[in-house]
Structures are given as C-alpha cells and as structure tokens.
Copies of this chain bind each other. A is one copy, B any other.
Amino acid sequence: MKVLITGVDGYSGWPLALHLLARGHDVVGLDNFVTRRRVKEVGSWSATPIPAFPRRQAAVREVLGKELGFHRGDLADYDFVRQVLATERPEAIVHLAEQRSAPYSMIDVHHAVDTQVGNLTGTLHLLYAMREVAPDAHLVKMGTMGEYGTPNVDIPEGFFEVEFRGRKDRLPFPRSAGSWYHWSKVFDSGDVMYASRIWGLKTTDVMQGVIYGIRTPEITDDRLLTRFDFDETWGTALNRFIAQAILGLPITAYGKGEQKRGFIALEDSIQSLRIAVEHPAGPGEYRVLNQFDAAYSVNELAEVAHRVASELGLPATIEHPADPRVELEQHYYNPLHDHLVELGYRRTRELSEVVREIFRDLLRFRRRLEARRHVVLPTVQWRSADSGPALAARRPSEPTPSAPEKPSDEPAPAGPTA
C-alpha cells in the first residue's frame, strides 16, 4: 500500500515509516523539521542523536534495503500539500505533522495561537487536498486521549448513546481538553468528522495515549534511532523522570501525583497505526480509536523509574513540587479501548520492561543528557503569565518551506538559554 506520513522526521513518524517499509508498504514522508528547531528554541536536544534527514534515508537504504521517499515542506502551504498528494497518490495518509507539546502551547499568547492555528490549518489543508486530488485515500489522524479530559464517567471511543429528557441519540462524546494544544486536537477532530460527513472521506481519528519507549524491532542500528526528548516542554513526564534519575536529580512528580492518563509503548503504538492503515475506514466513515493499553498515575510512573534506577545502582529520590498545570489531581479514569483489539491489536510490551530498555539506551548517551541537565525542570506556568522569561520573550518560530536550514540535531555552539 502507498502510505504518506506527514511528520516523518518525528518521534512516531520515523519508527512508523521503518515499520511500514519492513511490512512491504511503499512509504513517502513529509516534514518541515520544525520540531528540531523548536526543541533548540527551549535550549534542548534529543538524548538520542538524530542524524540529518538525508543520512536517515541513507541508513534506511543500507540497513533495511528500502527506499524512503521524502518531500520537504510545510502543511501551511496549500499548493505544496495538494501537489504532494497529486504526485504521490497515497492510499493512506498518516497525519502526524502537528505541534505536539502542551507546555509549548501554554508559554504565551503567541505560542497558543501558533499551536491552534498551525494544527488546524494543516489539517484543513490536508482535508481539502484529499477532496481535490485523493478522495479515495484514507486519513489516519493523530489525536490524543487528552481531548476527553477526565470525566466522571467511562470514556467511549468517540461516540456514545445519550438518553436525555426521554429521547435517545448517538452523539460525539463531549470533549474537555486541558491545554491549548489539547484543544487544537479537539478542533481537528471536529473538522475531520465534518469533512468525512460532507465529502465522504475515509477517516480514522486516533485518540493516542502517552507513548513511552525509543525502540521498535526495525531499529537495529543507532542511525535508525528515534528522538528521545526529556526537557520540560518536549519530553513526557516519564521521559523526564528517567533523565532525572540518570542525572542524579530528584524525580519530580507534580502535585499529589494521582493524575491518571492512558499509556502505550512506542512499538505497540506503531502496531496500532499500522493496523489502522491496513484496515481503512469506509467512505464517509469517521472512525475513532482510543489507542492506549493501560492507565497509570504520575506516581506509578515515578515509582517505576525509581525502581529501575535502583536496580541499575542509580540513587534516586521522588519529590512532589506544586503542580504547574491546571488539572484534577484525583479523579475517575476509565476510557474504553476495544476497537483496535477487534481489528487484531495485541499488546506486546510492558511498562517496566520498556523503562529498563530506555535506561540502557540513555546510559549510553549519558553525556548528551549531562550537557542539557538544566532543561528537565518546569518553567511554564499554566495559571499565571509568568512563564520562564527565555521562553515567554520569544515568538514561535515560523518555518517556511524555503528556509535554508540544516536538519540536524547537533548542539548549537552557543550555550543553552532555558
């Protein structure tokens, strides 16, 4: 099957490309390398070294014996999007090219607008380009479990049966997100659902849990590694905990640490996306998949990181600073996730095993963590206007497809600023 991956240079896009190539699919990617720039913007980098994209393509050729097609450009440019779809005629489009950090979206008004406008524009451009030149393609859109918030009822997969004042209907489950970023995903869901309805597009909206891990079976060579972000803006809580343990810093679990979220291992997330691609939605169908394996609290994550660190002889402690986010610290959480299982999904990885694997990899790249040890503490405050000055002073970078830029993750000569 011919598959286009937007955001192919990213954390999920890269291993998905490797996996689909290994399965015999024809894969072409698209990226504007904005994540590399934005991680630099907060003074950080990936703990795993990420080669420039042409070197990634060369490694794919050498290690997997496969050709990964690529278009450099920006989804903000409609003519570019339409031309890529018209040229490549993909049967499936996996849309991962969005600003993906909640803290980044909360830095200030400009980062909030940039996140919502950028994500919404990219998705609308893809939808219109599909209608124009690829109406039979299947869109697999990356959303987030965070669209649902933490309601006091079970969370269905997208839709539920409502009974209200004596009448019944099947309606979209109400969304209640917890950051401007998460709201941008809610907005995308609305637009994808609507485009599917009026134009008959085939669409799958993936409510993705938090992903953990760096390895998939295809990553057999360090040149094929995917990103591992550990700074407060771009890294997940678990990633920061592991980085903190390796750096000898206290593991910082915000607040009471009882906030729960859905999680899935990278390898199983890639398995899920592959299943969605290989089992397309029907014409006019807007299919929602809740994509996670298990719900963990922040404390459970901190404890796993602490336990594995201890096994490895790393002294670690857990601290509970005040939560800079606005979120319920204690709440009910029971999202359903049956659709993927019905399509053949089986969980293959367990949290503690993957955490051990991450520690082993990161200990090899310890020097890269040491060089950026200042970035693992929070600077963005959800409530007040007082975000870290180095962040708040900057407007978000505005990438243009033609900007001359070295797509590499190597450290800038100047010292870190945040």
- As a 0/1 sequence over residues 169 to 192 of chain A, the CB contacts with chain B under 8 angstroms (1 = contact) are 101111111101001001100110
Write out the residue numbers on chain B whose beta carbons fall within 8 Å of the beta carbon of A332.
167
- Residues of A349-387 at the interface with B, using a CB-CB cut-off of 8 Å, are 382-383, 385
Residue among A153, A160, A385 having the largest count of chain B Cβ atoms under 10 Å: A153
In chain B, what residue has the closest Cβ to A156? Answer: B164
Can you name the residue of chain B whose Cβ is closest to the Cβ of A154? B165
Q: Is the CB of B177 within 8 A of A175?
A: no
Query: How far does the Cβ of A108 sit from chain B's closest Cβ, in whole Å?
Result: 8
Stretch at the interface among A54-62, A124-132, A270-278, A339-347: A124-132
A174-B172, A190-B187, A385-B132 as given contacts; A152 in contact with B124, CB under 8 Å: no
B154 touches A164 (CB 8 A): yes
For A190, give the chain B residue with the smallest CB separation: B183
Q: Is A23 close to B, CB under 8 A?
A: no
Decide yes or no: A197 and B167 within 8 Å by CB, A117-B120, A125-B113, A190-B183 being known contacts.
Answer: no
Report how far A180 CA is from B174 CA in the complex, Å.
Answer: 19
- Give the nearest-CB partner of A117 in chain B: B117
Asked if A198 lies at the interface with its beta carbon under 8 angstroms from chain B, I say: yes
Please pick, from B125, B152, B162, B164, the residue contacting A168 in the complex, using a CB distance under 8 A: B152
Q: Which of B128, B183, B190, B191 contacts A191 (CB 8 A)?
A: B183
- Residue A308 lies at the interface, judged by CB distance under 8 Å to chain B: no
A116-B109 contact in complex given A154-B164, A187-B187, A194-B177, C-beta closer than 8 Å: no
A residues 248-269 with Cβ under 8 Å of B?
none
A326 close to chain B: CB less than 8 A: yes
Among A125, A191, A197, find the residue whose CB has the most chain B CB atoms closer than 10 A: A191
Does A221 make an interface contact (CB < 8 A)?
no
The answer to whether A186 and B190 have CB atoms under 8 Å apart is: yes
Q: Which residue on chain B has the smallest CB distance to residue A188?
A: B187
Q: Are A152's CB and B167's CB within 8 A? A: yes
Asked, given contacts A109-B125, A153-B164, whether A199 binds B383 with beta carbons under 8 Å apart, the answer is yes
- Asked if A151 is an interface residue, CB under 8 A from chain B, the answer is yes
Cβ-closest chain B residue relative to A200: B383
Contact in complex: B172, A382 (CB < 8 Å) = no
Nearest Cβ on chain B to A417's Cβ, whole angstroms? 23
Whether, in the assembled complex, A110 has its beta carbon less than 8 Å from a beta carbon of chain B, the answer is: yes
Q: Name 30 A/B residue pairs within 8 A (Cβ), A-sorted.
A: A78-B110, A109-B125, A113-B120, A113-B121, A113-B124, A116-B187, A117-B120, A120-B187, A124-B180, A131-B385, A132-B385, A151-B171, A152-B168, A153-B168, A154-B164, A154-B165, A167-B332, A171-B174, A173-B174, A174-B174, A177-B190, A180-B191, A183-B190, A183-B191, A183-B194, A186-B190, A187-B187, A198-B326, A198-B382, A199-B383
Interface residues in chain A, defined as those with a beta carbon under 8 Å from any beta carbon in chain B: 78, 108-110, 112-113, 116-117, 120-121, 124-125, 128-129, 131-132, 151-154, 156, 160, 162-165, 167-169, 171-178, 180, 183, 186-187, 190-191, 193-194, 197-199, 326, 332, 382-383, 385
